[in-house]
Structure 1
Amino acid sequence: MKRILLLLISLAIFGCKGDKSNDMEKSSEPKTDSIMDEDIIPDSIMGEEKVDFTVEEANKLAELPLGCINTEYPNKLGQTLENAEAMGEPKELHPAFYGCFDWHSSVHAHWSLVSLLKQFPDLEKKEQIKETLKKSLSAENIKAEVDYFKRPQSDSYERTYGWAWLLKLSEELQTWNDPLAEELAQNLQPLTDLVVERFMEFLPKLNYPIRVGEHENTAFALSFAYDYAEAVKNQELMELISKRAKDFYLKDDNCPVSWEPGGFDFLSPCLEEVDIMQKILPKNAFNLWIQDFMPELTQEDFSMEVGEVSDRTDGKLVHLDGLNFSRAWVFYHLANKYPEDFKHLETLANEHIAYSFPNLMEDSYEGGHWLGIFAIYALKQSRAGE
């Protein structure tokens, strides 16, 4: 009976924006040990669980993307070669996003610098950050990125993880009231439009969602793309994402959360699904859905052990630090949007961040080039409820 009611509610509100309580904000050799470990560990977690995201921590976290955006090697290109002429140096192929080991990591490194500047306008290295962004996100560089995506063998390049982060970068620029942001968003727009077009073409053809804890996770991509569509009022993209999320997930029951985490996970398959559904369903429908899908989340004594990393020099095993940050941001989303039902998840989010945050500067380059960005996104969500 509950499922029938949920389906009726969902059909009745298809295309409706729902009752969102959180409005979109308007508002050389690589080295990862340039900052001493004790410098990156704020006093707030030396005996407490919550990491206070202050300008001091923002200054330290900014060093991570600044340290990799212009670092060309090591590099994982991930390209399909149509011929010998398609080969090239990373900076030649991707003049905007060649650093930070791979394309998507470079994209979210740029996002993190924009996000930090928006949240903390008085960062110590704000001028260096602005110059870095202007140099990378020039109109000429973005044109070259578009040309790469239009290569015959690049239709699926960075699908869908890199696409999602590109839209997150665009969203961050377009919701930042700053002349620099306006300039950079305009430069980025041709690539943004191309990625939106790719989403619009691909999602109707995807018959089954990809339910893994790594890059291909469909729910993660839908969630980030929905944020972008909502921010820029792209109703067509919002409706497509909402429809596909319902197609994929509305009938899901009893997510096997006890199977998580997988050894290489940096996303939670169960929680990423929760994240997109809380965005597209109104409160009453979401409440019914969560009771079928993951009812334990509503219990005040719900617990989930952090993902434990055994070797932070292993680029795959260190994914579990990323899992802790991505779980945390989903917990914060729920606690901020529906505090009457999910406020207790803040404590769990804090625990996950507190486990992995002190290790950001200990990682090899395999972890250091991206984990700070996940931390920044999770900490941003922790501040959203203040």
Structure 2
Amino acid sequence: MKRFFLILLCLGIFSCKGDQSQDTDVTETSTDTLNTEDLIPDALKNSKPVILNLEEANKLAELPLSCIDTEYPNKLGQTLENKDALGEPSELHPAFYGCFDWHSSVHAHWSLVSLLKQFPDVEKKEAIRESLKNSLTSENIQAEVNYFNREQSGSYERTYGWAWLLKLAQELKTWEDPLGEELSANLQPLTDIIVQKYMEFLPKLNYPIRVGEHTNTAFGLTFAYDYAETTENSELLELVKKRAQDFYLKDDDCPVSWEPGGYDFLSPCLSEIDIMSRVLPKNAFSLWVDDFMPQLKDEDFQMEVGEVSDRTDGKLVHLDGLNFSRAWVFYRLANKYPDTFGHLKMLANEHISYSFPNVAGDSYEGGHWLGTFALYALKESGNTPKA
């Protein structure tokens, strides 16, 4: 019966579609008077939040700065049409050739933009600006467009790299700085290609990909949703909403006890929750969680951190990324619905506290990408001080 009412809610019969701010539930406690500290289990109250301050921002900036011009080692992930398709990474991808692979280079650029926006006085601000300006030229972006237009590049970076490209585009579009406007305009032809690829691919995807690595469908939908919402791209936004509900609305009892997989850097269960928290209004989302992962509402809910045995192993270190990606979902839920999920903040703190001390001094196997995951999690925490 609950499933029936949830479907009715999402069809709009109870007027739940639209502005979520108008979707209230009289049975829930007002967040104006709620002390979310009371919702935190005693066992987790000792987990202190990591604060992204200027000192930490300076450390995190070193990671993308040191890798976006590092061409080797490099994982191209390329399908060759013929021998002429071979080339040096910097020839094939003059904008995004560093940081080991294309998607890591893209989100390294996102990290630099995000840090500049949050901390205009970051120590190496001029080096960051110069690096961004050198990478994201119109000529370099046109070469990236040409690569995506190759005959064998139709599925290149689908959808993980696509998602991060749209996150970079979103960050540039909301940067109130002449450089941000210039780089956003330069990036736009590639952004348009990626949006079009989403529009073409999502209707053809009959079944979602539920894994803890790059091809996870829910993750790809989440960043596409954020971009579409920010840029008011209604066509993409409605498609993402539709496909998310097609894929996940009827899901029950996510097997969270199966997590984590040995190479996971995303949680299949939490990634699904992340996108559904965006596309469903408050009451509908609450009903959906009751079926999908009801234990998440339990004030004593626990999820052990992913433990890393060898940070020099490029696959095993994925589990540090898992801790950060779990944390950003926990933080987002706790901040959006503190009356229901406020207790998840301490669980997020626990996950970040395990992995964050290892980021700045990490080997290249993790250092070329983990800083981005840490930064995104800390941004979602709401603990970043005003610059």
Alignment partners' CA distance in 1, 2:358 and 2:136? 30
Equivalent in the alignment of 2:122: 123
**Counterpart for residue 147 of structure 2:** 148
Residue 33 of structure 1 is matched in structure 2 by: none
1:221 equivalent in alignment to 2:220: yes
User: 1:123-165 deviations in whole A, cap 9, x for unaligned?
Assistant: 0100110000000000000000000000000010000000000
- Cα deviation, residue 384, structure 1: 6.4
Residues 253-311 of structure 1, C-alpha deviations (whole Å, 9 max, x = no match): 00000000000000000000000000000000000000000011111110100000001
Any conservation in 2 of the 1:51–1:354 contact (CA below 8 Å)? yes
2:161 pairs with 1:162: yes
| Separation of aligned partners in 1, 2:228 and 2:383 | 19
Structure-1 separation of matches of 2:48 and 2:317: 21
Q: Secondary structure at the match of 2:356?
A: helix
Deviates more, 1:365-374 or 1:6-15: 6-15
Q: Is the 8 A contact 2:93 2:143 kept in 1?
A: yes
1:139 and 1:187 in contact (8 A); partners too:
yes
Q: Is the 8 A contact 1:15 1:239 kept in 2?
A: no
1:233: which partner in 2? 232
Q: Which position in structure 2 is the counterpart of 1:7?
A: 7
Give, in whole Å, the separation in 2 of the partners of 1:224 and 1:20.
24
What are the residue-to-residue correspondences of 1:284-363 with 2, within 5 Å?
A: 284-363=283-362
Per-residue deviation at 1:101? 0.1
- Give the CA deviation at 1:52: 1.1
Instruction: Tell me the residue number matched to 1:203.
Output: 202
Distance in 2 of aligned mates of 1:257 and 1:346: 19
Name the structure 2 match of 1:372: 371
SS of aligned partner of 1:157? coil
Residue deviations 1:161-216, cap 9 Å, x none? 00000000000000111111000000000000000000000000000000000000
Structure 1 counterpart of 2:245, which letter?
Answer: K
Q: Match of 1:237, as an amino acid?
A: L
CA–CA distance in structure 2, aligned partners of residues 233 and 7 of structure 1: 26
Counterpart amino acid of residue 106 in structure 1: S
When normalised by structure 1's length, the TM-score is 0.91
SS in 1 for 2:325: helix
- Alpha-carbon distance between aligned partners in 2 of 1:18 and 1:228, rounded to the nearest angstrom: 18
TM-score, normalised by the number of residues in structure 2: 0.91
Count how many residue pairs are aligned between Structure 1 and Structure 2. Answer: 361
Partner-residue secondary structure (3-state), 2:20 = coil
Question: Which blocks of at least 5 consecutive residues in structure 1 are unaligned?
Answer: 22-46
Q: Distance in 2 between matches of 1:98 and 1:166?
A: 14
- On the 8 A contact 1:312/1:362 being kept in 2, the answer is no
Alignment partner of 2:154: what SS? coil
Aligned to 1:74: 73
For the residues of structure 2 that align with 1:384 and 1:217, how far apart are their CA atoms? Answer: 28
SS at match of 2:21: coil
Partner amino acid, structure 1, of 2:228: A
Shift in Å, 1:118: 0.6
Contact 1:255 1:293 in 2 (8 A): yes
